[in-house]
Structure 1
């Protein structure tokens, strides 16, 4: 629910970083809080507030507060509702979430994660009661009124019942985090975070826990250290640097390229197989993570918004200007400690690995990482060029269907499917193919209009259910599949046939 809406979090983070009172370019109109009488511009939303003397004044609302209070939770709720019951579920889930938003005094991310899918599920169950029983001509009336009534009822119930419970839970989590910070124990969180990342719980940890709590802290203090706990690229960089200098075989050869993807691209999963090859290296990652957190705690640093993906560029962009040197120091410190410890471990086992021929099985480690993830990864697959053996298979309706709209689909509609779409677009361009669109989206958003849908093999059946009339192609690796050449050839043949038909 959160990942598809990360661009909105980043937009809010930029606006916060720029325009609040302690931002890079303070603006009391966009950041909020400015006195209308002092500025004299009446073209923005305002609210009544009190000055230090207790006198009523009119101040600007700004963008920061409304975005975190309304926009972000409602986007999450709409995504959750759509995942359960399409557009209709998204609408009802969004209506229901308004109840928890106005029924509390904190950003209601957890409430949105609950009420969005719940609203979609309730609407789906209620629609099933009279499915196929509505008289012709009354469908729109019944559908609109039923959704409106259900949404209103859920919103009221959420206002009185769910909002207080979620607010209490959120406050309890916030108190626990504050206690860890006050007690100087926050670095110990790396004992859970770093192993969790390698087991592919990184998105659940970062976007499911730290992003909602961090956004709440930003509203209170303008920044949050929670955005740096999982997203710091330093520990992974240290692991990959150690392999670059002291690794063996394919692991050493591929590590420099992995550094570019991990540190600059922000795709942390690229270093997980390197840890799985030698699980003891998790000690280096944990120590590096603890070092980075300790530095950030010592200098009271934080980010304005989530660094997603966890690229060094995203970290820099979301850093408050006064905190930037210390944030960079935390990345360097984490990478240095991780590198030193992992280097010692790799050098200590180097002779034994050479003698036994055990240089580490990167292919097995990639397979284990993908098993932890629950699906294949195009980024990881490129490490060992698994795509060279990917034959794929065309499935669905007739392969001579005219292809004008190709869609790459994955769970979230981001990341791997976006990279696959880019690869195929480049192949189409080099082949001189025109008039064909290649896009990417989540499987849940497939609407049946795609002529050809490309998915990873284990997701094809789900895609068929969402878009049964499309031609479906399965691949093992989004980044490097020979199937793409077959698709390009098919489209070229169709274009040639169309040209011949037009000439005759």
Structure 2
């Protein structure tokens, strides 16, 4: 079995993905806290479902202290484990106390920065501490550094982050007041197809949306990226007017995308025919415009972007606007995609009859362009023949490690069980959390390059669709062949 090596230098898109993943990695594990805050807000504020002045007193401290500190702790842990998380949290208190607005951006800066500084300080005396003094030095060095960074953040970072946050907020307000916010879809939707969806939503829109929700009780920014309507419209068009594998798999993809909230499932359908990105841009812009017109929004982030999560987080006065934004965005996306697919249907059918499925061909070509394998057999050995590496730990990896990778792991787990294959662990992780324990890493083809860099010693397989890739059967047969 031939192990593919990581590229010497990652491309610009990969670097942007990694940065975006780092930002979203601070938010995603704490989404439950945001949802809890959203429920408390929805129930107990004066305009909530069951107003309660006493319990409403939880809202302010949670958004001012709890949520930013959770973000800072996670950012610090990503850089320097628990020690980095503690120092990052201490330093972030300086930013929080130094301003009167929710410091999500400040937390995303100070958490990782403080952890990195702590890591460099520890290197200064690594291996030089006398036995018995390790705990004393560790605790006092972290405490003194946290003390200094908190004061520095109060006087130095807090004013800068406040000015930056005010500038971003003013920019969003300008787009809202001028009615230009729908144009954001021109950037957001193509970026989603490049797997920057979590970075955009949780790295940029969620912090800004939380600040708006704290002031107004809701924000439409939570629906700029998370609206499931554009993806639903595209998949419906593929289901009615597509051909081959794309058409056959679209109904299942609709369930995963619209009800399950895993938007990554529709990305390959756009990649098969890139001009289809116009449909989701039009749908996204329509949804944003609808929320602008009806002044509607969500109380907290909808994550995952399921219609159920969207409705649960919808503000009391926004149900009509939010529901219409989903319906109208799906309608517009469907109509634009239908026109595109109908115009090329004869050509696609001819190609299909000639033995070339546009969906599969585009996938294979894209895998080659990204440096990924388009044939599992080439990577794992022909006919399931045992190779030098015995596969006992399979890891599905995606951007956040929670959505599409979990779905793929479930599918492969079932296939292995049905084939009578035992002794193989199948898990899902974020690409950033990959380590040397993985024997085989399965990723979407657009993420394989990053996965190779994170786990260079593992075998890597690229798939175009986590839900029903034919490569799963080849992986199962290969592992079964190893055990025979």
Encode CA deviations 1:395-454: one digit per residue, 9 max, x unaligned.
Answer: 9x9979xx9x99866664422443355457657887999999976555766899x8x776
User: Is 1:363–2:351 an aligned residue pair?
Assistant: no
Residue 167 in 1 paired to residue 155 in 2?
no
Q: TM-score under structure 2 normalisation? A: 0.79
The range that moved more, 345-354 or 436-445, is: 436-445
Q: Which residue of 2 aligns with 1:307?
A: 302
Secondary structure at the counterpart of residue 131 of structure 1? coil
1:348 alignment partner in structure 2: 343
Q: How does 1:46-57 map to 2 (within 5 A)?
A: none
2:254 is the alignment partner of 1:259: yes
- Could you report, residue by residue, the CA deviation over 1:91-138 in whole angstroms, capped at 9, with x for unpaired residues? 111111111111111111111111111111111111111111111111
Which secondary structure state, in structure 2, belongs to the residue aligned with residue 238 of structure 1?
helix
Does the C-alpha gap of structure 1 residues 360 and 481 become closer, same or farther in structure 2, counting only changes over 3 Å? Answer: closer
Once residues 398 and 338 of structure 2 are traced to their aligned partners in structure 1, the CA distance between those partners, rounded to angstroms, is: 37
Secondary structure in 2 matching 1:281: helix
Q: Which has the higher helix share?
A: 2
- Flag structure 1 segments of 5+ consecutive residues without an equivalent: 33-61, 466-471, 494-504
Structure 2 vs 1, CA of residues 353 and 177 (structure 1 numbering), >3 Å: closer, same or farther? Answer: same
Partners of 2:45 and 2:53 within 8 A in 1 = yes
1:456 aligns with 2:449: no
Give 1:50-449 correspondences, 5 Å limit.
Answer: 62=58, 64-355=59-350, 361-366=358-363, 391=380, 412-419=400-407, 422-423=410-411, 440-442=428-430
Structure 1 or 2, whichever has the larger Rg, is 1
Instruction: Quote how far apart the aligned CAs of 1:14 are.
Output: 2.0
Q: Partners of 1:488 and 1:163 in 2: how far apart? A: 58
* TM superposition shift of 1:280: 2.4
C-alpha change, 1:414 and 1:316, in structure 2 (3 Å) is same
Higher RCO (C-alpha under 8 Å, 6+ residues apart): 2
Task: Flag the 1:435–1:199 CA change in 2: closer, same or farther, 3 A.
Answer: closer
How far apart are the structure 1 equivalents of 2:52 and 2:117?
Answer: 43
- Residue 52 of structure 2 aligns with which residue? 27
Per-residue deviation, 1:171: 0.9
Matches of 1:406 and 1:29 in 2, distance apart? 49
Q: Work out the number of aligned pairs and report it.
A: 442
Alpha-carbon distance change, 293 to 413 in structure 1, aligned in 2, over 3 angstroms: closer
How far did residue 331 of structure 1 move?
0.6
Shift of 1:156: 0.9
User: How much is the aligned-residue C-alpha RMSD, in angstroms?
Assistant: 3.8
TM-score, length of structure 1 as denominator length? 0.76
**CA separation of 1:251/1:349 partners in 2, compared to 1, >3 Å: closer, same or farther?**
same
Partner of 2:32: 7
Distance 1:434 1:286, change over 3 A: closer
Q: Is the 8 A contact 1:390 1:476 kept in 2?
A: no
Question: CA 1:253–1:269 in structure 2 vs 1: closer, same or farther (change >3 Å)?
Answer: same
Deviation at 1:302, TM superposition (A): 0.2
CA contact (8 A) 2:385 2:481 kept: no
Conservation of the 8 A alpha-carbon contact between 2:396 and 2:408: yes
> Which region of structure 1 is more displaced relative to structure 2, 118-127 or 250-259?
250-259
Q: Following the alignment from structure 1 to structure 2, what is the Cα–Cα distance between the partners of residues 323 and 394?
A: 58
